[in-house]
Each structure stands twice: as structure tokens, then as C-alpha cells.
Amino acid sequence: MINRVLLRIKIIQILYSYYKSDSKSLPLAEKELFHSIRKTYDLYFHLLQLSVEITRFAAEKIETKRNRLRPTEEDLHPNTRFIDNTFIAQLSENLQFNEYLTANKLSWVNDSEIIKVLFEEIIVSDFYAEYMNAPEAGYAADKDIWRKIFKKIILQSEDLDDSIQDQNIYWTDDIEMVVSFIIKTIKRFDAANGLDQPLLPMFKDQEDAEFATKLLRSVLSKANDLRNMIDANTKNWEIDRIAFMDIVIMEVALAELLDFPTIPVNVTLNEYIEIAKNYSTEKSGTFINGVLDNIVGQLKKENKLIKVVMFSDNKK
């Protein structure tokens, strides 16, 4: 689940904090990196749990209306399609899901207000009305409604964003990517798998975990050399005038270029330019592109940039 795009971002964030800290410890930086990764995996389960809690809230509202002193005909015979959603029923009984929630004590009990806010946004949406009023529904439609809820409501909710930030500082920048993982998870759900439906693992494979460790160590072991390369290629800029985040991004990019021969140059450059656009200044993408392009040209001339073509390797 935690792909290399997110690993690169996490490493940059950890290094930024590392450089700003008075205490410089590689073991501590590694520990913090994997703690951050674990927290992102927690968020994956926590947001999946949100769908179950919203459904439970909806069911409780229906039951409350049924028990009114003078219930209306609609109160007594409500449309229960939303609360009878077969995808949510399957998820709520999923063994891996429930074991993880219990082991890591994840709950929305202290943030119940956001459940109400999101439910109210859901029920006024056009796609909710279409789902509830369709002549018939099934497993595919039950999955589709929740893909739309995550994409169009949960991902867009400023209230949820505030709630997530209050719950855990590690979750601040992770919602968008984690929601994309959840949408992928929903698409993979198969009714035939029942409560044994596999959820996404923390890492796709051990190689990705090793990538994170190796890249972090590579930057820290070569920090002075990497900084000198950057300095030499920013002659028209005083190093202290360059956004510090830009320097960190370029350091990580150069470490990857030098120490990961199976990752194509253009893949590395494109990844870090995109990160710069999202996590640094407005002009950082263009600036970093120019600096890295110059350094790559020099490294190639000096035969210091070795790349190995691995036709069976799809790693990025």
C-alpha cells in the first residue's frame, strides 16, 4: 500500500525535521520514518472504519425515528438501502480489518461529530439520491456508492481534514493518497471472499521497505557531497536564499540517482519535481528541474551515473 511516491515524501519530511533538530541520530531518524509509515497505515484502516461508522449512524437515525411517539409512515417504512449496503456489511465483518482496529485501538468515539457532518453531506448529494431511488441495487452498486463518497465527500471535507489533523500530526498530509488506496481496496472487494477479503498490506513487498531504509541512509551518508553538488550548480543563488525544502528534495533526488541503478533517471527526476510542486514554493518545480538536469549532465560526462536496465523491474 505504502508506495514509493509516499515513501519519498516521508523521507523528505523526516530529513527536513532531522536537519532542523539539534539532535542528529541516524537510528532515531530511521525509527521516526517507520513510525510515520505505520501511522499512515493506521489512517488507511481508520478511514475504512469511517464508512462503517457512518452506516451505523444512519441505522441509529432510522431506529430513532421508528421509536418516535407518533412515527410517520416514512418513519415506520424507511428506505434502508444505504444501511443494508452489502459492501459495508462485508467490511464490518472482515477479520483483518477488525483485528487491526482492535490491536491498534482505532476508534471514532471521541470524534463522533464528524460522523454526523459527513452523513448530512452524503444524503444531500445527487449520487446518493440516485443510489437510493434506483429500481434495484446490488453488490456493484453498493461498492460504487462508497467509491463516490470517499472521492467526492470524504476527500473534499475540510471538517474531516481538521478532525484528522487534531487526531494525529502524522496524518496531516496523508488523506489524499490514503483515500486513493481505499478506492483501490473497494474495487478489489469480491463478495465471494466473505470475511477473508484481503486488505492492502503496508508494503507491496520487502523491496519497498528496503528502498526506504537505503534511501534515507544514502542521503545522510553523502550529505556533504550532495550539498556541494547542489551548491556548485546554483552559482547565481546563495545557498541560504534557496528554500530549505528545495535543498532537501534535491539531496534525496541525487541520492536516488546515484544509489539506485535500476530506477530510470527520468522517473527519479519527475517524481521529485512533482513533490517540489506540492510541498515547496510555487517556483520550486522549475528551479529543481533546472538544477538537477545540470547535475545529471555532469554526472553522465564523468561516468558517475550508472543505470542498469531491468526489463522485469517495474519499480518506481
Q: Give residue limits of the domains in the chain.
A: 4-196, 222-301
Q: Mean pLDDT over residues 57-69, rounded?
A: 92
**Amino acid letter, residue 185:** T
Distance from C-alpha of 187 to C-alpha of 185, rounded to nearest angstrom:
5
Cβ(55)–Cβ(30) under 8 Å? no
**Amino acid letter, residue 202:** M
Q: Mean pLDDT over residues 283-292, rounded?
A: 93
Distance from C-alpha of 265 to C-alpha of 293, rounded to nearest angstrom:
10
Distance from C-alpha of 128 to C-alpha of 114, rounded to nearest angstrom:
18
Does position 238 have pLDDT exceeding 70, yes or no?
no
Distance from C-alpha of 296 to C-alpha of 64, rounded to nearest angstrom:
66
pLDDT of residue 312: 44
Of 31, 30, 37, 16, the C-alpha closest to 177 is 37
DSSP per residue, 6-55: HHHHHHHHHHHHHHHSS---HHHHHHHHHHHHHHHHHHHHHHHHHHHHHH
Q: pLDDT tens digit string along 89-115?
A: 999 999 999 999 999 999 999 998 999
Q: What residues contact 65, with CB distance under 8 A and at least 6 apart?
A: 71, 75, 78
pLDDT of residue 13: 94
Does position 241 have pLDDT exceeding 80, yes or no?
no
Does position 126 have pLDDT exceeding 50, yes or no?
yes
Q: Mean pLDDT over residues 191-218, rounded?
A: 96
CATH of 222-301, one of 1.25.40.20, 2.40.50.180, 3.30.1490.190, 1.10.940.10: 1.10.940.10
Q: How confident is the model at residue 74 (pLDDT cuts 50, 70, 90)?
A: confident
Does position 237 have pLDDT exceeding 80, yes or no?
no
Does position 299 have pLDDT exceeding 60, yes or no?
yes
Average of per-residue pLDDT values in the chain: 93
- Secondary structure letter of residue 150 according to DSSP: I
Cβ(226)–Cβ(254) under 8 Å? yes
Q: Mean pLDDT over residues 117-131, rounded?
A: 97
Cβ(200)–Cβ(181) under 8 Å? yes
Q: How confident is the model at residue 316 (pLDDT cuts 50, 70, 90)?
A: low
Q: pLDDT tens digit string along 257-276?
A: 999 999 999 999 999 999 99
Distance from C-alpha of 147 to C-alpha of 186, rounded to nearest angstrom:
7
